[in-house]
Structure 1
Amino acid sequence: MTEVVDRPTGKGPAAGISAARQRPAVQPAVDVAALGEQLLGKWAASRRQARTLAGKPELHKIEGLTHTDHRARAFGQLKYLVENNGVHRAFPVELGGADDHGGNVAGFEELVTADPSLQIKAGVQWGLFGSAVMHLGTAEHHAKWLPGIMSLEIPGCFAMTETGHGSDVASIATTATFDPDTQEFVIHTPFRAAWKDYIGNAAIDGLSAVVFAQLVTKDVNHGVHAFYVELRDPETKQFLPGIGGEDDGVKGGLNGIDNGRLHFDNVRIPRTNLLNRYGDVGADGSYTSPIASPGRRFFTMLGTLVQGRVSLDGAAVAASKIALTAAIRYAAERRQFNASSHTDEEVLLDYQRHQRRLLTRLATTYAAGFAHEQLLQKYDEVFSGAHDTDADRQDLETLAAALKPLSTWHALDTLQECREACGGAGFLIENRFASLRADLDVYVTFEGDNTVLLQLVAKRLLADYAKEFRNVDFGVMARYVVGQATGAAIHRTGLRQVAQFVADTGLAQKAAIALRDEAGQRALLTDRVQTMVADVGSALKGANRLPVEKGAALFNQHQNELIDAAQAHAELLQWEAFTEALADITDPGTKTVLTWLRDLFGLSLIEKNLAWYLMNGRLSMQRARTVGDYINRLLVKIRPHALDLVEAFGYGEDHVRAEIATGAEKARQDEARAYFRAQRASGNAPVEEKVLIARTASAARAGGN
């Protein structure tokens, strides 16, 4: 596209404030349709199908329902999804699925726009319960249970978390002890803290569950395995003998899901109910597994269920897009204060602070979206078998653990900021910010607590660092990274290992000269990750040779730095994903605007961590002062394209469903401006007191002369 005159912004002729007046007369234009196609990604067809479903009123959340009514509605909506072929993409072709793992997650995450409770309840049924049977079971299990799971004839639960052990799955206390005399496993919760807790579908709807328990046979504990356990009588919906439970009750959000607790008192199940793809018990009680290492076996079994984290990452990005679409549309219409005109008030989005609030989060949302598309492709490659080595699975697990915390925290931050940016209107439930934020609150702690996930990423970074530099003294390496004396840039795609060094031309401050340049941003962002990991690696050198308690204490002393390093690494992944996406844009105008948006994201990260760059000598004080100025200039450039950038998300009125995003505010503002314009033109407008005082003073001065 060639450059064109900027599109109308809805402002009056005299409404521009200083930032707005700095706009050039000619602006590059965004090709909204082409950008929208790019944002839909590889599984565009699945996303469109899911968005069509999510736009149906039958699936929309009805605000104000009691939790009992909301639960009943959500369960009915699951049936609607089945009837409309909305949930079976990942299941085997021979059972009516499509073996399309990437398309399945892409479609599933779009359901958050209809009702997050529906999305998560569907995730429990097919993404957790059904996937556990599919990925941890064998052909016999598939034939026996998957048809009923797919059709919703068997509503189920994913019973992993315990009251006493949340993210620490390896330490759960529920046991499954094999009895060779009866060829049965005995499922037992030995104390209250071992009850399965926060389990979706457990309070009312679940007829069966995949229960995770410590497998014990011949007096040997072989670690956590998964078992298929029937919970309730299909006719009476009452718990079967030996099984009990409680309703978790009303929650802070997601009240369409019947979360509950389950406990087992020596419940017996057939030996064949062990989902035995990765570990089996013979009739004589002997244990066998294709994976010799108990630790690797555990992580392999849990890794097959990584799609929960992948889908939450995508759903959080979708929720952020919905919030920003509503808030930016409103900000482009709502007027407040007449800062630069005696007659017209300013459009909110022309205020620099408002741009800071919304456009920086818009940039982060784009970065998170591009990173999610890479994660989704990695997920599909692993589960389709295209790239399914042990290393690929480890990379997928670490990538999901890195991105899910950032996107879910960002969604909560964005929803809150959008709520505040829309004032009192943002607090009304009809505009969805408060409702979405309540529902997404738990996303930061389920499918892996965000802080725990980042610690997993940090450990991987340390392991990669140690592997790469096994024979190099950590202290020397840390000083090398800090000094930036020499070295070649190593920028790997996918999961970036810590063994990367940023090319520099001499002093560290010289990198800041290219602050707005792609290479300069990459240098600063990458260098921070490397230095942080090297510093912690130096501090932890030899920890594995210490007594257990001393090694743990040393690690705990540096836990905060480790998690900060993991977050910096995840932010770098998002920046790299955004940068790689720019290469796929062919329209010049779109590429220019998206490059500005990428720069805004990168510079915002640098500004957020400016203290680190100053303390570590990466930026001079003088150069650091320019970061904010660069950001402000970018905001002025991006402002005229804000509406196009949210329009490219592709969400219609039936997805956004916020009254303030319908154009009603523009109609009110136009009516008000027309009223005062007509009043002034009639000559009958009352004179404002301050104007009268000014006239009187002016007349007095004239008379004195």
Structure 2
Amino acid sequence: MDTVPVEAVPAGAVRAGPLTDALFDGGFEAAHRPWTEVLRREVFRYRDGLSLSERAEAAYERLREVNGAVGSVPEFVGSTTRLVALHEWLGMVDGSLTTLATIHYNLFLGSLLRLDPGKAVDPAPFIRLDDYGAVLITELGYGNNAADLETTATYRQETDDFVLHTPTAGAQKFMPNTGPAGGRKSGLVAARLIVRGQNCGVHLFFVPLRDARGPLPGIRIRPLSEIPGSSVDHALTSFDRVVLARSALLAGEHTELTAEGAFRSAVGSRRRRFLRSIQRVTTGKLCLSGAAVGGARSALAIAVRYAHHRHTFAPVGRTGVPVFAYRCHQTRLLGAVARAYAATFLLRAAVRECGRRDDGEFAEARNGTGEPGGGTGAADAAEVDVLVAAAKGWTTWQARDIVLECRERCGAQGLLSVNRIVDLITPIESTITAEGDNLVIWTKAAADMLTGRGYRPPAETGTPAESAVPAASAVPAGAAGAADRAGPAAAPTGSRRLLEVLIRHELRCLRRARERLGRPSTGPLDRWNHAVNPGLELVDAYAARRAAEAFLAAVDQVGDTATRTVLDQLFQLFALQRLAPHAGLLLADGHLSAEDVRELGPAADRISAWLAPHALTLVDAFAIPDEVLQAPIATEGFAAAYDDPAGPWREEDAG
């Protein structure tokens, strides 16, 4: 591949501002900076030594502080962009607070305001946070198969009400935040609607759960065991023939229970009625992705800064160097920075697409009954579902890997809660499981993609024989230490070639999965088991390709040449490290040459060395104030946090 050398860019020539604009899609000032100011407040400061119950109460106290800064709560709940922005910042401060916020704003209020347009249930107490909202869907025996859950809400025509009941141990509602922390709570409870002996599908019901004295009559709430790293008051909740008014049924505009006690719905199947009821789960996937990506960015800001402050042994003749001076530290942290940028750009793309659907651009995707119709709009809406599912799994898994890398790079300091990184692990693990377990939602996405629903394979361009890997010959002539510190191929040549190989990898995954799906089988399960793992590889390849496209689109939007060059090199590092695990198959299929495969590691090293002077700028672009980051090791004088006023050195200083 013909390459154009990239000269070194002086560190001072690249500013964080243009990178921040790229990362936040030009919306930092409007949607993000306000939260950086709110989270500076004293109530959000890290406090060591709190008990579990004290930490739980602190999370609810912080939620009240957030609520006061939201402005119009209904408008806020209706904006996917603003909801995701909030979660990006909460995700780096308090994982328990993040959980409470996503439940109350997105799942509870989002569902209540959508499914109860006539306001039979007064939303005011929840808007003011006089009452907290919980959502009770998952049961002990029913998680991702919640459409089959057992809790029943039986309509009684003679009294015009419902009886909510938990019929078996497996029907207990599992892990809602219905414990005593915070005070009064009400919930949206998913239950089978039984009318005239017929199962009409799972719907949501508004149920007051507890007041200041405890659970209300007929409601049993038992705390679950502690989750390390989380202080949410998770519990098992069950119902013993709790009577609910007719207005408790939240059926939306397309389903009704007539005055004569007849059930009518324009939505055809029970499963689709359930999916309509829990539609806010899609927005929740993006919120959780935002929380995970925000947490990953904060961990990187801490680890990269610490790597520049922490000195270690040096080669003979030197007194010591920052640990970041070592290439092994650079490639790991800069590779993680590259993935964090890619995950952020993928999140932005998914939020934009979801916003287009929410704003009615895909209106033809509905046939007037709330059911998907035909035509281009339906295909576009289905693509959004696949993209959101793929992005949620990819971003949260990437975030976990990034945070674990950062924890390790900080050594023993990374194990201390005061330095914040270790406390990000459990909340990110929660994002991997909540709003649909990643493996399950990817399995559903794989099935959709393999059957042509919501997926258009990318177009194949370019010539496979052309080298995609930046070669050592691309090093600027005469540069000092050229083999280590000079750059890879410049945009657009190297980056576009790398994107082409990512596309070819995705198409190879598609062909392999389809071939496996077509193998002889003994039945539907056996047939799907042939294809499921290759299908998951397809979803992974699709998510990475969409992230790469979003990354390059952001590069193209940067006006400053030096900043654009640095961002492009970061993209190339991402792409090279992404391709490395698949090098053998790409070689076998002719998409990489033998020399390309040999060069993958050295090329990543060269880019890391070239990017190393810009590492602090790359994480400064995350725009996280020190008061929000709250990590002593992220500051140059971090040792002062451990000073002992009675230490013997104090006596020596005094003398």
- Which range, TM-score by smaller chain? 0.7 to 0.9
In structure 2, C-alpha distance between the alignment counterparts of 1:521 and 1:124, rounded to whole Å: 40
What letter corresponds to residue 428 of structure 1 in structure 2?
Answer: L
1:529: how far off?
1.6
1:289: how far off?
2.1
Match 2:385 to one of 374, 381, 397: 397
Cross-structure match for 1:122: 101
Superposed CA deviations along residues 391-447 of structure 1, whole A, max 9, x for unmatched, are 354333322211111221222211221111112222222211111213322221111
Cross-structure match for 2:457: 499
Match 1:366 to one of 334, 341, 352: 341
1:510: how far off?
3.4
1:645: how far off?
0.6
Match 1:598 to one of 571, 577, 602: 571
Alpha carbons of structure 1 residues 378 and 200: separation in structure 2 relative to 1, 3 Å: farther
What pairs up with 1:185-204 in 2 under 5 angstroms?
185-204=162-181
Cross-structure match for 1:318: 294
Cross-structure match for 1:30: 14
What pairs up with 1:255-274 in 2 under 5 angstroms?
255=231, 257-274=232-249
In structure 1, C-alpha distance between the alignment counterparts of 2:19 and 2:575, rounded to whole Å: 20
CA contact (8 A) 1:117 1:254 kept: yes
Aligned-residue RMSD, C-alpha: 2.5
Structure 1's unaligned 5+ residue stretches are: 1-21, 468-494, 669-705
Match 2:496 to one of 504, 519, 522: 519
What letter corresponds to residue 391 of structure 2 in structure 1?
Answer: L
2:553 corresponds to 1:580: yes
In structure 2, C-alpha distance between the alignment counterparts of 1:99 and 1:75, rounded to whole Å: 22
What letter corresponds to residue 594 of structure 1 in structure 2?
Answer: L
CA contact (8 A) 2:150 2:167 kept: yes
2:427 corresponds to 1:448: no
1:369: how far off?
0.7
1:383: how far off?
3.0
CA contact (8 A) 2:468 2:497 kept: yes
Cross-structure match for 1:283: 259
Cross-structure match for 1:210: 188
Superposed CA deviations along residues 515-539 of structure 1, whole A, max 9, x for unmatched, are 9623322221112222212222233
Structure 2's unaligned 5+ residue stretches are: 1-5, 366-371, 373-377, 472-488, 642-655
CA contact (8 A) 1:382 1:393 kept: yes
Superposed CA deviations along residues 283-337 of structure 1, whole A, max 9, x for unmatched, are 3332222323444443333333322111111111111111111111111222222
SS in 1 for 2:122: helix
2:222 corresponds to 1:249: no
Cross-structure match for 1:380: 355
In structure 2, C-alpha distance between the alignment counterparts of 1:384 and 1:499, rounded to whole Å: 26
1:540: how far off?
1.9
In structure 1, C-alpha distance between the alignment counterparts of 2:42 and 2:339, rounded to whole Å: 30
1:26: how far off?
5.1
CA contact (8 A) 1:198 1:259 kept: yes
CA contact (8 A) 2:45 2:630 kept: no
2:147 corresponds to 1:170: yes
SS in 1 for 2:466: helix
What letter corresponds to residue 437 of structure 2 in structure 1?
Answer: D
Cross-structure match for 1:431: 419
Superposed CA deviations along residues 170-214 of structure 1, whole A, max 9, x for unmatched, are 121112222222212222221111100111234544521100112
What pairs up with 1:72-87 in 2 under 5 angstroms?
72-82=57-67, 84-86=68-70
What pairs up with 1:302-701 in 2 under 5 angstroms?
302-339=278-315, 341-388=316-363, 389=365, 390=372, 391=378, 392-464=380-452, 497-505=455-463, 508-510=464-466, 512=468, 517-541=494-518, 550-664=523-637
Match 2:49 to one of 64, 67, 71: 64
CA contact (8 A) 2:299 2:406 kept: yes
SS in 1 for 2:604: helix
Cross-structure match for 2:651: none
1:226: how far off?
0.8
1:595: how far off?
0.2
Alpha carbons of structure 1 residues 368 and 620: separation in structure 2 relative to 1, 3 Å: same
Match 2:32 to one of 26, 31, 47: 47
1:27: how far off?
6.2
Greater alpha carbon shift after TM alignment, 285-294 vs 167-176? 285-294
1:228: how far off?
0.6
1:67: how far off?
0.8
Q: Give % identity.
A: 28
Alpha carbons of structure 1 residues 384 and 135: separation in structure 2 relative to 1, 3 Å: same
Cross-structure match for 1:224: 202
Alpha carbons of structure 1 residues 43 and 338: separation in structure 2 relative to 1, 3 Å: closer
**How many residues are matched?**
599
Alpha carbons of structure 1 residues 415 and 542: separation in structure 2 relative to 1, 3 Å: closer
In structure 1, C-alpha distance between the alignment counterparts of 2:496 and 2:204, rounded to whole Å: 48
Alpha carbons of structure 1 residues 264 and 25: separation in structure 2 relative to 1, 3 Å: closer
SS in 1 for 2:563: helix
In structure 2, C-alpha distance between the alignment counterparts of 1:235 and 1:107, rounded to whole Å: 29
Superposed CA deviations along residues 453-486 of structure 1, whole A, max 9, x for unmatched, are 111221121122xx7xxxxxxxxxxxxxxxxxxx
Cross-structure match for 1:686: none
1:25: how far off?
8.3
1:50: how far off?
1.3
CA contact (8 A) 1:78 1:118 kept: yes
Cross-structure match for 1:700: none
SS in 1 for 2:13: coil
Superposed CA deviations along residues 556-597 of structure 1, whole A, max 9, x for unmatched, are 233222112111111111111101111110000000000000
Larger radius of gyration: 1
SS in 2 for 1:182: coil
What letter corresponds to residue 299 of structure 2 in structure 1?
Answer: A
In structure 2, C-alpha distance between the alignment counterparts of 1:163 and 1:402, rounded to whole Å: 26
Alpha carbons of structure 1 residues 206 and 429: separation in structure 2 relative to 1, 3 Å: same
Alpha carbons of structure 1 residues 99 and 569: separation in structure 2 relative to 1, 3 Å: closer
Cross-structure match for 2:480: none
1:28: how far off?
8.0
TM-score norm. by structure 2 comes to 0.86
TM-score norm. by structure 1 comes to 0.80
In structure 2, C-alpha distance between the alignment counterparts of 1:218 and 1:628, rounded to whole Å: 67
Match 1:105 to one of 84, 95, 111: 84
CA contact (8 A) 1:28 1:589 kept: no
Alpha carbons of structure 1 residues 555 and 124: separation in structure 2 relative to 1, 3 Å: same
1:98: how far off?
8.2
What letter corresponds to residue 86 of structure 1 in structure 2?
Answer: V
In structure 2, C-alpha distance between the alignment counterparts of 1:62 and 1:167, rounded to whole Å: 36
